[in-house]
Amino acid sequence: MIVRTLQDAEKTARRIVSPDGNWESTRLLLKDDNMGFSFHVTTIYEGADFQMHYQNHLESVYCISGEGEVETLKDGEKYPIKAGTIYILDKHDKHVLRAFKEMKMACVFNPPLNGKEVHNSAGAYELVAEVIAD
């Protein structure tokens, strides 16, 4: 059994801050945990507006708190996000995420992340990244 608390993990290398200042993510479950997916609690800072395109991963995102929107770039459709909303990037959707109020998100990635990933120039996470050592 694996037991971790968000509060403890936030004080370790599991807390990653984006170089662009749009978000921070605490990676509670990673590839080395051998569950087949990773689980993160991510904060999207108020005013963030950035493009992502997870070419190597599928992601499900559940909004715990805050307010914003996600826009799919294929069709320009905008979807409001608030507490209780889930969006699923099941087709490697190229998208823009905007936070009108700071958003706390629970995120699941398949395949799982190693731990230290940040977005590359295409807005994706690489499949191979440095592993976080506990």
Residue 5 lies in a domain: no
Residue 123 lies in a domain: no
Residue 125 lies in a domain: no
Residue 75 pLDDT class (50, 70, 90 cuts): very high
Tokens describing residue 44? 């999207």
Burial of 7 (0-12, 13-18, 19+ CB in 10 A): exposed
* pLDDT tens string 86-103: 999 999 999 999 999 999
Of 51, 61, 46, 44, nearest to 96 (Cα)?
A: 51
The domain that holds 85 is classified in CATH as: 2.60.120.10
Q: What is the pTM of this model?
A: 0.88
Q: How many domains does the structure of the chain reveal? A: 1
Of 78, 50, 82, 79, nearest to 64 (Cα)?
A: 82
